[in-house]
Structure 1
Amino acid sequence: MALHTAFQTLRHRLHQQIIGQTALIDNLLLCLLAEGHLLVEGAPGLAKTRAAQALARACEGQFQRIQFTPDLLPADLTGTDIFHPQTGAFSFRQGPIFSHFVLADEINRAPAKVQSALLEAMAERQISVGTQTYPLPPVFMVIATQNPLEQEGTYALPEAQLDRFLLHTWVSYPGAEEELAILRLVRHETRSAQQNDQLSTAESQRAAPWLTQQDLLAAREAVQQVHLAPALETYIVDLVQATRQAGRYDAQLGHAIEWGASPRASLALDRVSRARAWLAGRDHVLPEDIRTSAPDVLRHRLILSYQAQASGTQADAIIQRLLDTVICA
């Protein structure tokens, strides 16, 4: 119970630093608990980077921010073999991917070879350089951001890599009251830095690691113990199967989905639903946990037909219709 309280405290602290992005904070914690990676999409200036940095500061471990650009090379990510003329031998120098928390900023600006290197790290939790393979830390999380507005000079992420993200979340503009709170928060932080030429005592405490690596691993084990009833297991499979056979439920949906979600979607729904239940303080999953998790799990795993794209149909609308159609027994 103390571990659950620690995560609730962490959630509260993140809300104090990241105002108006409740879903983003929850999805960061869900991915952390479910051993997954998060893709965050939204306009610039919506605290995507700030949220990732705040989470990493709150947890014990190394944090690296990588700005993805068209001229990035795989070695800039993974590291490379260094030749030592004095000894005539090579040694491997690790790249920034060998961190516990990796922020891949504007991930869609990197070319295919870099995407391939990141894909191996996300999927296999290892990287390959030459003939050698190097494992990544047990706690390893990629938080990737995308800007949906500026597409010039970008490379669309392949479906195989999108499938490796546990969740895909959208961030939107804050409301007027939330933006006023943001204004005051940033003003306070700026004044504290100017007065002390460093973080204030309260801010230093917030910046100190709140959860240790052992805490994270123990929480993940606790999430695995959350009970998922057989009827809910069937519900998860039915939802994912419906993305592949949507025509059986709704003829219009059948024409809207070109390719449905893979079995990774079922596994993701299982893991995320357990993590959501554990965060809520329950030892069992409810149907609401599955339904709430479904949009972020399925959004990036559906390939819409040309007809649906041409008509402006959004994946979220299709997912909602599936949730309305597929009934939990």
Structure 2
Amino acid sequence: MAGFVSRALGVLTSDGGPFASAPEWGSPMGTPCLLGPPPACVRFGVPAGEGAAGLGDGVQPARKNQHVSNVSVQLEMRSLWEEFNSLGTEMIVTKAGRRMFPTFQVKLSGLDPLADYVLLMDFVPLDDKRYRYAFHSSSWLVAGRADPAAPGRVHFHPDSPAKGGQWMRQIVSFDKLKLTNNLLDDNGHIILNSMHRYQPRFHVVYVDPRRDSERFAHENFKSFTFVETQFMAVTAYQNHRITQLKIASNPFAKGFRDWLPGRRRVRGQLPATLLREAAQLQHPPLVPLAGARSFQDSSAPRRPLPTELGAPLYKPLSYHSVYVGAKPRVAPYPLPASLHPFNIYGTSPPALNYGQQ
């Protein structure tokens, strides 16, 4: 198994295969693929459903094993991907690694239910350019040639290998995949350069049980790409509309939705979620007065102070109430009895005779 997978990856990453990692990211004719995988861009695979027949005019597709020739892939959440793509999808890359949103999810069909398959993903540059974002025009501009290519890596789905019936039974989600810009990453994350455009690619690899399977490694896989999943790798979101869309559609960003920049709020108004949580407490929240900088209790109107003060409502603190378990005892040096009637305003204090004690 391990030998076959390593041999298959060798074919996939070779200069002649569709997993090419060479610096020339263009089509066979030398034209850069700026907008995804058009028919001439052989190295970017093909969109889902087209198979190897969509490689373009004059290009003979490689003969595929019958276990992968009929495989088709459907992208999940396509409408959400298209909405992001219309704005220019951005994906955060960090030193520690950041998961993708939208998550790459697919639905498979056409697999052999009893055969073993390995599913994996990799990411290829769309061109040899580096970009910068122009805020005045809300667009991406070319800032020069691309940085040196990051080490090429692939991400295996954690359930690989598995039977074709298992893969087709449910939606396959790559929710554990993380993107990083750390060139020294040792966690297996996908390494990308910030401010560069990338195309995710999905691959189905048939685990050939034959002893000479290395000879047929180039026939036992099939690759798929989706134009909607192209993105720009960034360390911080540049387009504020991408930020708003991610907050509105990401279920893990619920805490940010009450503070969307585009949502108007009355000055001094607290978020509805905070008010609902505070209403369950014993004391109501303090809200700012209209046109003032002070706060008041919103549960009851203000009451005038009483004119006559009665007995205090509090219980004075004592030594025994503060220190629980303390026991009273006689002072080590009791005061003389003659000191108690002593008048501090008197002219002649009484004589103190300690010998009588």
Q: TM-score normalized by structure 1?
A: 0.21
Q: Bigger relative contact order, structure 1 or 2, given CA contacts below 8 A and separation 6+?
A: 1
- Structure 2 length-normalised TM: 0.20
